[in-house]
Structure 1
Amino acid sequence: MRFRSTRPETTLEAPPAVPETMRAAVFDGPGTADALHVSEVAVPTPVLSEVLIRVAAAGVNPIDAKTRAGRGMSGAIDSWPAVLGLDVSGVVVRAPFDAHPFPVGTEVYGMAAFPRTPGAYAEYVVVPTLSLARKPSSLSHVEAAGVPVAALTAWGLVVETARAHQGQRILVHAGSGGVGHFAVQFAAYFGAHVIATGSAHNLEWLRELGAAEVVDYTSTRFEDVVSDVDVVIDLIGNVSHDTGTRSLDVIRPGGMLIEVPTGAWPGFREAAAARGIRSTDYKTIPDGAALATIGRLLDSGAVRVFIDRVFDLDEAATAHAEIERGHTRGKIVLHVSDD
């Protein structure tokens, strides 16, 4: 007996033509923001499970600026010029196989594997399949490009490490920044009592995001008004006013300090242990499955992304200068194409 498939027949379209070269914002070695300039470079070639994406927008993160300046991930760059950029939103133009989860034409967002491969400040980028998710339908590409690194970092801090839950008290330093504004929302969504530090003009906005208490760090020392905290998510460290060290004064015995900025407080583990406080650092995991969950929260309206400024690819140097000022509300994004 012969069985006939009941699945509808599909006609595979030829993949779109991809040029050999592309425009990208590159830098030729560590330097100031002005080191970034647009140049013509080769389009990267996807291998194994990687997909090739035509970039619509690329997020700008503090780690990008640190890397450009010779810190961050600069030590892993093995050839020049280098193309920065982790956050990407765009359209798949090459997939590993026809029945791939993200076939040609799919709108996706995720994290590039820079510096192992060229980054997203370019017209095309290769991204591992497991670092991708379908773009939330409610978001533009510019909005989606502001999500991956910041939201995945916040998700790892709040959900996977702090295990936010009803009744828990969580203090988020720098709550209005890229990672911070997601951390406040995730912690509130899972029922925690959220306390956030920020400047005066951001306090009402932080309340709108879900913070139950806000502290203006420019006029009030948070340890004077906050106590008995279960978890501190420190996005500042000791590079500014000993924020990390002072945080130990507000954490209950057995509570947790999550120290995020690399190198901002080398002795935090020993200092926390001496006070009977647990501690850990954190590195972002480019988890496409978690990003898909975050996408559903964004589409439902339970969580939102705030885009502070949008620059064209040609203005990458200006975008870096802006993020290095350190007062960004939400995210800065590069507009690359109109896909």
Structure 2
Amino acid sequence: MKAIAYQQFGNTDVLQTVEEPKPVIKSNQVLVKIKAVSINPMDWKIRKGEMKLMSGSKFPKHTGVDFAGIIEETGTAVTNFKKGDEVFGVGKNSMKEGALAEYVAVSSASVWKKPASVSFPQAASIPITGAAAVSVLENLGEVNADTQILVNGATGGFGMFLLQLLKQKQANVTAVASTNALDFAKKWGADKVIDYTKENVLTQQKTYDIVIDLSGKMGYANARQIMKPKSLFLNPTPKPIEIPLSLIKNLFTGRKHIVVLSDPSSKKMETLLDAVSRGLQIEINKVFSFTESVDAYRYAEKGGVTGKVVIEIN
């Protein structure tokens, strides 16, 4: 089968199309014929060597984490899926093995049935960014129409899910985005939008109960300027040093720095599937073919992409 792999850390030029054996499944696994794989920032952070403490430096490595496809074969211990089922899921080890291939073998616990109402590209966009958005919600506590929330960098794949989930909770949301993405922020539920190319949210005379920095560019030190005396700063893209430091600093301040870590668990998928059934929209920014995989990553990595970028495999 064809797959995308790389033999060294680097930019998109290190990505290669390779021929590999079709995976052989274990008793608890399913073999999925891949129809679509979505792109996440995690993909290029691993490829560029930014996460080598976790990924290791052994090659070849593969890319792509979340996918959608059709079950080709089930292991002898699998009872909840059958051949022909349309599913979406996550690769078993995103640090070393990827989903961007014609077939993938994964635990049956890492796939879920695709809703008929969404396409393969849309389903492939759900697990990683969707689960991250649910993880943010789990760290908010109770929110209502009086809760003032600022979402910085609000219109990528992460923000697409988060804005809509916050709106389903009736929160009062201000979204910071670029000029061309403001309409999407409004469509996804933002009560107010701020164009960061024209306004600096840090200099406005408004404070928030919760600040969520999806861009990773604001930082807790800056966010303190617009946080109420007792408030939360949620950081879903932390630097390693921020995890222990936040725990220490939170002992001495009412402005809490919360590091959000996520995993695409079945519980989170249930929350997302329920949200989809209630009208959550999944915006696909652009679809590339498998032969255009390098172009797809170049496009996604330039930044400023609204919604999700997906690679489709026929």
TM-score between both structures, scaled by the size of structure 2? 0.91
Q: 1: distance between equivalents of 2:159 and 2:270?
A: 20
The alignment status of 1:30 with 2:9, answered yes or no, reads yes
Aligned partner of 1:216: which letter? D
CA contact (8 A) 1:117 1:126 kept: no
The alignment status of 1:86 with 2:65, answered yes or no, reads yes
Find the counterpart in structure 1 of residue 276 from structure 2: 298
Q: 1:248 aligns with which of 224, 234, 241?
A: 224
Find the counterpart in structure 2 of residue 259 from structure 1: 235
Deviates most, 319-328 or 64-73: 64-73
Q: Deviation at 1:209?
A: 0.8
CA contact (8 A) 2:28 2:76 kept: no
The alignment status of 1:334 with 2:311, answered yes or no, reads yes
Find the counterpart in structure 2 of residue 16 from structure 1: none
Identity, % of aligned pairs? 26
CA contact (8 A) 2:5 2:63 kept: yes
Aligned partner of 2:308: which letter? K
Find the counterpart in structure 1 of residue 106 from structure 2: 127
Q: Do the aligned partners of residues 175 and 188 (structure 1) sit closer, same or farther apart at CA in structure 2, a change above 3 Å counting? A: same
The alignment status of 1:220 with 2:196, answered yes or no, reads no
Trace 1:1-20 onto structure 2 (pairs within 5 A).
none
Q: 2: distance between equivalents of 1:99 and 1:83?
A: 26
CA contact (8 A) 1:90 1:107 kept: yes
1:328 aligns to what SS in structure 2? coil
Deviates most, 84-93 or 122-131: 122-131
Q: 1: distance between equivalents of 2:197 and 2:252?
A: 29
Aligned partner of 1:197: which letter? V
Find the counterpart in structure 1 of residue 265 from structure 2: 287
Q: 1: distance between equivalents of 2:205 and 2:156?
A: 20
Find the counterpart in structure 2 of residue 7 from structure 1: none
Q: 2: distance between equivalents of 1:116 and 1:179?
A: 20
Q: Do the aligned partners of residues 42 and 116 (structure 1) sit closer, same or farther apart at CA in structure 2, a change above 3 Å counting? A: farther
Computing the radius of gyration from Cα coordinates, the structure with the larger value is 1
Q: 1: distance between equivalents of 2:209 and 2:85?
A: 42
1:187-241 deviation per Cα after TM superposition (whole angstroms, max 9, x unaligned): 111111111110112112211110011111111111233633222111123xx4x
Q: Deviation at 1:116?
A: 6.1
Q: 2: distance between equivalents of 1:284 and 1:157?
A: 8
Q: Deviation at 1:258?
A: 1.2
Q: Deviation at 1:131?
A: 2.5
Q: 2: distance between equivalents of 1:178 and 1:74?
A: 26
Q: 2:87 aligns with which of 89, 108, 133?
A: 108
1:16-68 deviation per Cα after TM superposition (whole angstroms, max 9, x unaligned): xxxxxx10011111011111111101223333533221110001101101111
Deviates most, 144-153 or 39-48: 39-48
Q: Do the aligned partners of residues 69 and 291 (structure 1) sit closer, same or farther apart at CA in structure 2, a change above 3 Å counting? A: same
RMSD: 2.2
Q: 2: distance between equivalents of 1:84 and 1:211?
A: 33
Find the counterpart in structure 2 of residue 312 from structure 1: 289
Q: 2: distance between equivalents of 1:287 and 1:117?
A: 19
Q: 2: distance between equivalents of 1:221 and 1:272?
A: 26
Q: Deviation at 1:246?
A: 1.8
Q: 2: distance between equivalents of 1:310 and 1:152?
A: 22
Aligned partner of 1:187: which letter? L
1:250-295 deviation per Cα after TM superposition (whole angstroms, max 9, x unaligned): 2222211111213188455566665421222122212123213312
Q: Do the aligned partners of residues 226 and 282 (structure 1) sit closer, same or farther apart at CA in structure 2, a change above 3 Å counting? A: farther
Q: 1: distance between equivalents of 2:47 and 2:64?
A: 10
CA contact (8 A) 1:260 1:282 kept: yes
5+ unaligned residues in a row in structure 2: which ranges? none
Q: Do the aligned partners of residues 265 and 184 (structure 1) sit closer, same or farther apart at CA in structure 2, a change above 3 Å counting? A: farther
TM-score between both structures, scaled by the size of structure 1? 0.84
Q: 1: distance between equivalents of 2:247 and 2:63?
A: 31
Aligned partner of 1:260: which letter? P
Q: 2: distance between equivalents of 1:247 and 1:309?
A: 32
Aligned partner of 2:143: which letter? H
5+ unaligned residues in a row in structure 1: which ranges? 1-21
Q: 2: distance between equivalents of 1:315 and 1:262?
A: 31
Q: 2:117 aligns with which of 130, 138, 158?
A: 138
Count of matched residue positions in the alignment of Structure 1 and Structure 2: 311
1:249 aligns to what SS in structure 2? helix
Aligned partner of 1:307: which letter? I
